[in-house]
Chain A
Amino acid sequence: MADWMSLKWLLWISLYLILGVFVPWAASLAWAHQHGSDLRPRPKQLFERGELGLVGLVLGISVIWDLLQSQYMPQTRALGSVLLAVSGTMAGAVWIETYCRHSTGMRCNPERAWRDSCNLAFLVFSLAVVIEILLDRVAKVAAS
């Protein structure tokens, strides 16, 4: 069984969830309250154009940075970075596609954009979690 100190990555990852998802949602509610509006957007409405993909991309970039500074061999660092970069780019591409469709007046399905961005952001999130666990393990091995 792992010691609970190795779960510090969970706190680190949750910072992204709080700052990337919860804070924008709370800010929209605060704005509505300040302006006396009846607006009560749900996270799904707030991120319906695939903005969650951008959160995933930012999370991916920070994990790539951690990976590049790790004790792993260059092959492993390169492989992990490329995989994270591809997943992050595909997550960000959902937002780009939705924006382009919306701007050019092409048929745009917010339900699909929300689902795609959610799934791809979840993918980047899970990759980030496991890579942080692996980085934690390799740091302990290198230190011992």
Chain B
Amino acid sequence: MSAPAPALAKAPRRTVTVRLADAALTVACLSLVFGFLLVFFPVSFARIIRDSWLHGNLTVAMMVITLSIDACLYVRIAYRLSAKPTVLAAACLGSLPIVVAVGLNFCLQGAVDYTLSGDLPNLQARVGEEILAHTYLGLVSGIFLPFLALRLLQQLKTARSNRETESTSRTAASVSSY
């Protein structure tokens, strides 16, 4: 049997290397949109978010928004680099936004309970502000933190493979000198 011609052999596609700067730009734009809505619709925007939380839809909405943005961002990076998506990235981007949204929901519940237990004036408005702040921080964390985790994992993986290559070449050098 003859060997396959090198020209016909398919070149392996490199995997997507995420840079935090890509995610940072998207989060910054989302942040400015949130700020714009807060400045120009201070009452109605806050009321929509508060009502959504009261009806129990806020956490689900945050999950959907962060997952969609994360997926779009990752696919865009992969398309731009003409690189292959990895299982590690899919697992990271699929699970972390959900973990962040659920964790922040517990945190918000704690903050609301803490507010209501205090003897403070204007309680309802204070609770509304807590919900608003947590929604914003949740959206930002849900997009930025998965990419941060992915970046750190990729760096760890690269460092490990560099170490392995180095030790292999050192072993080969010592065998040949022997």
Would you call the interface of chain A mostly helix, strand, loop, or mixed?
Answer: helix
The stretch of B81-89, B107-115, B162-170 in contact with A is: B107-115
Q: Chain A residues near B19: list those with CB within 8 A.
A: 116
Rounded to whole Å, the gap between the CB of A127 and the closest CB of chain B is: 6
Asked whether B137 lies within 8 Å of A80 as measured between CB atoms, the reply is yes
Give the shortest distance, in Å, between A137 (CB) and chain B (any CB): 6
| Residue of chain A at shortest CB distance from B128 | A141
Q: Is A59 an interface residue (CB 8 A)?
A: no
- The docked-state distance in angstroms from the alpha carbon of A115 to that of B25 is 10
A residues in contact with B35, CB < 8 Å: 126, 129-130, 133
A33 and B40 alpha carbons, distance in the complex (Å): 44
Interface string of B109-132 (1 = CB under 8 A from A): 011001100000110011011101
Whether the pair A2, B42 counts as a contact (CB closer than 8 A) is yes
Partner-binding segment picked from A14-22, A39-47, A68-76: A68-76
Smallest CB-CB separation from A67: which chain B residue? Answer: B133
Give the shortest distance, in Å, between B49 (CB) and chain A (any CB).
12
Q: Of the candidates B20, B111, B130, B136, which one forms a contact with A90 in the assembled complex, judged by CB atoms under 8 Å apart?
A: B20
**Chain A residues closer than 8 Å to B108, beta-carbon distance:** 75
Residue numbers in A under 8 Å from B16 (CB-CB): none
**Residue contact A133 to B39, C-beta cutoff 8 Å:** yes
How many residues on chain A are close to B (CB under 8 Å)? 35
Q: Is the beta-carbon distance between B140 and A83 smaller than 8 angstroms?
A: yes
User: How many angstroms between the C-alpha atoms of A118 and B19 in the bound complex?
Assistant: 13
Q: Quick check: B133 and A72 within 8 Å, CB to CB?
A: yes
B38 contacts A127, CB within 8 Å?
Answer: no
B24 within 8 A of A: yes
Residue of A nearest to B123 (CB): A141
B24–A130 CB distance below 8 A:
no
Q: Among residues 10 to 31 in chain B, which have CB atoms less than 8 Å away from a CB atom of chain A?
A: 19-22, 24-25, 27-29, 31
Check: B58 CB closer than 8 A to any chain A CB.
Answer: no
Contact across chains for A127 and B42 when beta carbons are under 8 A apart: no
With contacts A79-B137, A123-B24 taken as known, whether A137 is within 8 angstroms of B31 at the C-beta atoms is no
A-contact bits for B125-161, CB 8 A (1 contact / 0 none): 1101110111011001100110010000000000000
Chain B residues in 8 Å Cβ range of A134: 38, 129, 132-133, 136
Residue A138 at the chain B interface, CB threshold 8 Å: yes
- Complex CA gap A144/B140 in Å reads 29
By beta carbon, the residue of chain A nearest B120 is: A142
Is residue A27 within 8 Å, beta carbon to beta carbon, of the partner chain? no
Q: Which 8 residue pairs are nearest across A and B when measured between Cβ atoms? A: A126-B31, A119-B21, A123-B24, A116-B21, A126-B28, A73-B111, A75-B111, A130-B35
Interface of A toward B, CB cutoff 8 Å? 1-2, 6-7, 71-76, 79-80, 83, 86-87, 90, 115-116, 118-120, 122-123, 125-127, 129-130, 133-134, 137-138, 141-142, 144
